[in-house]
Structure 1
Amino acid sequence: MLISVQALRALAAWTVVCHHFMQIFFDFKARGPLGQLFIDKGAVGVDIFFVISGLVIFLSTEGKSLPPTRFLLYRLFRIVPAYWLYTLLMALLVVFAQPLLPDQSLDWNHLLLSLLFIPTENPGGYGIYPTLNVGWTLNYEMLFYVLFAWALLFRLEVRLLVVAALLFAVSQAWTGFGWISAFYRSDIVYEFLLGIAIGMLYRRGWIGAGLWLPLLGIGAALLAIYHLSPAPRLLNWGVPSAVLVLSCMALERYVERSRVLKLLGDCSYSVYLMHVLVLSAGGFLAQRYGINPYLMFGVCVLAIGVGSWLSYEWVEKRSYRWLKARVDDEPVENLSRQKY
């Protein structure tokens, strides 16, 4: 994985954290221009995630003879254990610590559908969200994985077209007939294609190293995100997110040795999954005991940072290696020497 992409993934995760801080602590009521910025634009972290996801999946399968079923198993091993853990923790908090999550309610059928990545109306009545609310993005991720698995049956040069055709069929044609949930009709699903396209450009050597041009691209992308509304999402936030990813890749030589940025990127998935739980607890304590919200946010950031590192090391890595070893019939100690 490119360290520049890891750094951007970490930035995207923490941008979403700040967005939800404004929601949980201030009910999306701005406390200054920075707070308003995170309220209005913090959700763009998801768009960056989706572009990076398309890029990573393309690069990780390029040049490999990987059967579709094996690809899907590997992605499930990578995504599911941590997601199930934090979903179940959320369910337990809703049942046994309701004051922490006053707007949440639990329905066992909905919990099961959440664990299976099937979009359905949240029992709290605020939209199609799983038990762990941030998991709505993983429903899109799983759709992308399934469709990309089909594309592995085709040669590398046409995979982008195959995935694009399948995405269009699912999100536009099939949802219109009610075969697939209308949840997938959002144009955000096409942001994965932008990541695949960037991966193709990178493998062909068309993304060269640079400094001023990539920095200009980053500045232009950030200005576009700042001035444009999130609709239409693919055009207004998806394309600038793709420019951010591409520009950061061109800066790889300046960060390629940074262990800190790599670690932050490694932990970003756990940051994304756990942050709402930590912020909810922090918001409850701040309100009950009159603690300054920004001081409590600092405590939450520390807790999320340490917790995500422990989660990455003890949940994500260990579960992935153990499950992969079962499928590959390879000793776990051999996998521990491989790059994760």
Structure 2
Amino acid sequence: MLISVQLLRALAAWLVVGHHVMQLFFNFEAHNALEDLLVEKGGAGVDVFFVISGLVIFLASADKALTPWRFMLMRLARIAPAYWFYTLLLALLVMAMPSMFPDVQLELSHVLLSMLFIPAQNPAGYGVYPLLDVGWTLNFEMLFYCLFAVALLVREAYRLWVVAVLLYLVCYVIGPFFDLADGFYRNDIVLEFLMGVVIGMLYRRGLCRARLWLALLGIVAALAAIYQGADVPRALEWGVPSAVLVISCVALEPYFHGSRFIKMLGDCSYSVYLLHVLVLCAGRWAIEHRGVGPYTMVPVCIVVIALGAFFSYHVLEKGTHRRIKHWFGLDESMPFSRQRH
């Protein structure tokens, strides 16, 4: 895994955490410039994730004789166990302490659909979200994995075009015609996966190189574009700047190469993303029922999320992934850190 991408993955995950801190602790009421930034732009971390996902999936499958079935098994082995664990953990916590999760309602059918990555209306009435609401991004991920699996049937040079056509058909033709998942897939955010695939193709051809000043200029320009915003579709407002940010960071890879600390931050980012809402809901409960100040609770939650994610990665993610690979005889030549969400 590119260390520069690991750093960007970690930053994106914590940006989403900051956005949800403002939602759950402050009801999106900002009191300073940093809080305002997290409220308005924190969601852009998801766009960075999607671009990175397209990049990683392309690189992880390049020059490998992967069948669609094997590819999907590898993807499921990587992302499903931790997601299922935190989904079921949330369900148990809701039953044990419903006051801690007042926005969550349990319905067996919805829990099952959530576990199967099938978009459905949340019984709490706030839209098409799974039980663990951050899992909405994984529903898009799973769609992309399925379509990319089909693209593996053609030569590598044509995969981008096959995935692009399939995304268009599913999201803008078949989906609207059959009203799949209440229009969930009709979202231009799916184009950000294709941006990542393009970056992967450029990287494979040695075209993601630039002088230090140019790469830094690209990062500054991307961040400025995200900050400024525009009244355009999300794929343009945040997706294109996220792609510029990713490719600029990749160009800086020689400066990050070999950093174990950055690699560790990136490794833990998936668990950070999955467990942070549970921790923040517990923090909100402490604020509302125990009189703890929100600014006192923020660093406490950050520490709990960081430590929880570290152990979650090493015990839950890494451990279950190795067991599943052994059970199904999946490729052991691909390092775990390269098979990232």
Give the TM-score of the pair, scaled to structure 1: 0.96
Cα 1:186–1:339 change in 2 (3 A) is closer
Sequence identity (%): 58
Aligned to 1:321: 322
> How far did residue 208 of structure 1 move?
1.0
Between stretches 205-214 and 53-62, larger displacement belongs to 205-214
Aligned to 1:219: 220
> How far did residue 209 of structure 1 move?
4.3
> How far did residue 229 of structure 1 move?
4.3
Q: Aligned partners of 2:179, 2:291: CA distance in 1, in Å?
A: 50
Aligned to 2:269: 268
Between stretches 145-154 and 209-218, larger displacement belongs to 209-218
Q: For the Cα contact (< 8 Å) 2:318–2:336, is it kept in 1?
A: no
Q: Aligned partners of 2:234, 2:334: CA distance in 1, in Å?
A: 41
Cα 1:180–1:337 change in 2 (3 A) is closer
Q: Aligned partners of 1:202, 1:336: CA distance in 2, in Å?
A: 21
Show CA shifts across 1:283-305 (max 9, x none). Answer: 11122222221221101111110
Amino acid at match of 1:78: R
> How far did residue 320 of structure 1 move?
0.8
Q: For the Cα contact (< 8 Å) 1:48–1:242, is it kept in 2?
A: yes
Q: Aligned partners of 1:100, 1:339: CA distance in 2, in Å?
A: 35
Between stretches 321-330 and 31-40, larger displacement belongs to 321-330
Q: Aligned partners of 2:231, 2:22: CA distance in 1, in Å?
A: 18
Aligned to 1:85: 85
After superposition, residues 233-272 of structure 1 pair within 5 angstroms as 233-272=234-273
Aligned to 2:190: 189
Q: Are 1:115 and 2:115 matched, yes or no?
A: yes
Q: For the Cα contact (< 8 Å) 1:209–1:252, is it kept in 2?
A: no
Cα 1:119–1:38 change in 2 (3 A) is same
After superposition, residues 95-106 of structure 1 pair within 5 angstroms as 95-106=95-106
Aligned to 1:43: 43
Show CA shifts across 1:227-246 (max 9, x none). Answer: 11474111110000000000
Q: Aligned partners of 1:326, 1:164: CA distance in 2, in Å?
A: 33
Cα 1:229–1:23 change in 2 (3 A) is farther
* SS at 2:178 equivalent: coil
Aligned to 1:148: 148
Cα 1:58–1:336 change in 2 (3 A) is closer
* SS at 1:185 equivalent: coil
> How far did residue 74 of structure 1 move?
0.4
Aligned to 2:295: 294
Q: For the Cα contact (< 8 Å) 1:218–1:247, is it kept in 2?
A: yes
Q: For the Cα contact (< 8 Å) 1:170–1:180, is it kept in 2?
A: no
Amino acid at match of 1:33: A
**Unpaired runs of 5+ in structure 1?**
none
Q: Aligned partners of 2:64, 2:93: CA distance in 1, in Å?
A: 42
Q: For the Cα contact (< 8 Å) 2:70–2:330, is it kept in 1?
A: no
Show CA shifts across 1:172-206 (max 9, x none). Answer: 00012116331000000111000000000000011
> How far did residue 31 of structure 1 move?
1.8
> How far did residue 101 of structure 1 move?
1.1
Amino acid at match of 1:128: V
Give the TM-score of the pair, scaled to structure 2: 0.96
After superposition, residues 133-172 of structure 1 pair within 5 angstroms as 133-172=133-172
Show CA shifts across 1:312-332 (max 9, x none). Answer: 0011111111111111179xx
Q: For the Cα contact (< 8 Å) 2:74–2:330, is it kept in 1?
A: no
Q: Aligned partners of 2:121, 2:334: CA distance in 1, in Å?
A: 43
Q: Aligned partners of 1:326, 1:304: CA distance in 2, in Å?
A: 31
Q: Aligned partners of 2:155, 2:335: CA distance in 1, in Å?
A: 27
Amino acid at match of 1:272: Y
Q: Aligned partners of 1:53, 1:235: CA distance in 2, in Å?
A: 18
Cα 1:103–1:231 change in 2 (3 A) is farther
* SS at 2:209 equivalent: coil
Cα 1:106–1:329 change in 2 (3 A) is closer
* SS at 1:316 equivalent: helix
> How far did residue 29 of structure 1 move?
1.2
Show CA shifts across 1:37-69 (max 9, x none). Answer: 101100000000000000000000000111110
Show CA shifts across 1:57-98 (max 9, x none). Answer: 000000011111000000000010000000011111222111
Aligned to 1:16: 16
Aligned to 2:55: 55
Q: Aligned partners of 1:329, 1:6: CA distance in 2, in Å?
A: 24
Q: Are 1:75 and 2:75 matched, yes or no?
A: yes
Q: Are 1:132 and 2:119 matched, yes or no?
A: no
